[in-house]
Structure 1
């Protein structure tokens, strides 16, 4: 579907309350297992899963393959809202994971009246104190991206999160999941990461968001994401929490059923 100046690939399952799922930095189909789990745990919801511009089956500007231009958090948030427009949806629940969580926050700040609820699964928030240490820890991964070793960078990042078991949950996305992670990871590194450093979580704009907010956090995800939750609570004092036992930043693959259950409990009519 043409959305503003790009062609967006999307999938809609069901005919209930719309829930827009915004994926993370390196897997356009990464939230497919969660969307399926949501249909089981919350059948009154209709997951709307899409590929962000330049990733997966979506194009870059003017319907062409990505040409190297930077893509900002604000641009992605505008795409998400424009997709709702194209689907004839005045509002939706919004779920965002990692970088997609940052995009989800920006969409809520830009159009608070269009958000029925905001589900934040470990968004990437560079303003927290632990960000500098986190960036030091992932520096070897970034170095591999910079050297053009995209497969090595993806392998290193997944291994750092779950040294022995990442292949099995990754396979739940599909047989080409690793190749997709390599392609989409390169796009994140070259197009999205630079502008992420310029985005700020505005307290003034956040004050306008009245929708229910849920912070989803793995109990093994570490200080960067724990401090991210603290910042979410500062910006959205009405925020509720859901902890995913034994999970880390791969929680969207490790525990989609548990996450879906927590979302269902949070939103149950």
Structure 2
């Protein structure tokens, strides 16, 4: 991967294809998690320049410390756009990365052409308490210093017995990186995530279209989060991924890429004919 100097750190990133830019923001502790989706988007949306990067402190990107706020993550995303000479871009985010994508749009609405959000963690919805309660086994392992146990329990709960095969699609070192970055997520990032809210006044300034993507087996929490997106954004449309859970980006990258490509295609002006 290449590196770019952003906000006093070096950010690892890769650029695939040419055309309208599409920035991908990965989730909590799996820095390489969007690699399969980036590859699928290169096939489904060949007219786009797909930019995938590793967030602050993750994988080989610098800035490993704490705390790291949602606002800092958004500033890094915007700084990467500056470093790459991109005045504006489409933005796709997954899980915690989808919250960062939202904050990026709220912070600089003129720089985000559209949002594609894969199951953002919106802790203000009613189902958040039950969702967080379900994370208690993971949190207990993290508190005990068992980062491998916390990561494995998370992935097994979401991906079932074949979770290791799913993670392997994100690269041979995906699991090892996830274990290493588990502490960073829970210690440095999670506190800001649990206090961040989708402020209606700030959201009203965002006029760009939004695509909400969820797995049909992901549970009520993410359905409630989708409902909140529809309340905050007038131009919100939906895409459901059959049989997928919160690991939808690894379970069905091709289906997601197709849905995102269709969404972006509808936003493109019709080609002029001579």
- Correspondences of 1:91-170 after superposition (within 5 Å): 91-170=88-167
TM-score normalised by structure 1 residue count: 0.96
For 1:88 and 1:111, locate their aligned partners in 2 and report how far apart those are by CA, in whole Å.
16
- Correspondences of 1:1-269 after superposition (within 5 Å): 1-60=4-63, 66=64, 68-268=65-265, 269=268
Which segments of 5 or more consecutive residues in structure 2 lack a partner in the other structure?
269-274
Give how far 1:50 is off.
Answer: 0.4
Give how far 1:145 is off.
Answer: 0.8
Question: What secondary structure is seen at the aligned counterpart in 2 of 1:164?
Answer: helix
Give how far 1:57 is off.
Answer: 1.1
TM-score normalised by structure 2 residue count: 0.94
Give how far 1:168 is off.
Answer: 1.4
Give how far 1:20 is off.
Answer: 0.4
Question: What secondary structure is seen at the aligned counterpart in 2 of 1:126?
Answer: coil
RMSD across aligned positions (CA): 0.8
Question: What secondary structure is seen at the aligned counterpart in 1 of 2:195?
Answer: coil
Question: What secondary structure is seen at the aligned counterpart in 2 of 1:225?
Answer: helix
Give how far 1:237 is off.
Answer: 2.1
For 2:72 and 2:21, locate their aligned partners in 1 and report how far apart those are by CA, in whole Å.
21
Give how far 1:189 is off.
Answer: 0.8
For 1:13 and 1:196, locate their aligned partners in 2 and report how far apart those are by CA, in whole Å.
29
Query: How many residues align structurally?
Result: 263
Give how far 1:169 is off.
Answer: 1.4
For 1:8 and 1:214, locate their aligned partners in 2 and report how far apart those are by CA, in whole Å.
27
For 2:235 and 2:21, locate their aligned partners in 1 and report how far apart those are by CA, in whole Å.
22
- Which residue in 2 is equivalent to 1:63? none
For 2:139 and 2:48, locate their aligned partners in 1 and report how far apart those are by CA, in whole Å.
37
Question: What secondary structure is seen at the aligned counterpart in 1 of 2:238?
Answer: strand
For 1:9 and 1:162, locate their aligned partners in 2 and report how far apart those are by CA, in whole Å.
27
Give how far 1:186 is off.
Answer: 1.6
Give how far 1:255 is off.
Answer: 0.2
Which segments of 5 or more consecutive residues in structure 1 lack a partner in the other structure?
61-65
For 1:143 and 1:233, locate their aligned partners in 2 and report how far apart those are by CA, in whole Å.
34
Give how far 1:162 is off.
Answer: 2.3
For 1:139 and 1:112, locate their aligned partners in 2 and report how far apart those are by CA, in whole Å.
36
- Which residue in 1 is equivalent to 2:271? none
Structure 1 residue ranges (4+ consecutive) displaced by more than 3 angstroms after TM superposition: none
CA deviation vs aligned residue, 1:65-117 (integer Å, no higher than 9, x gap) = x2x42000000001000110111100000000000000000000001110111
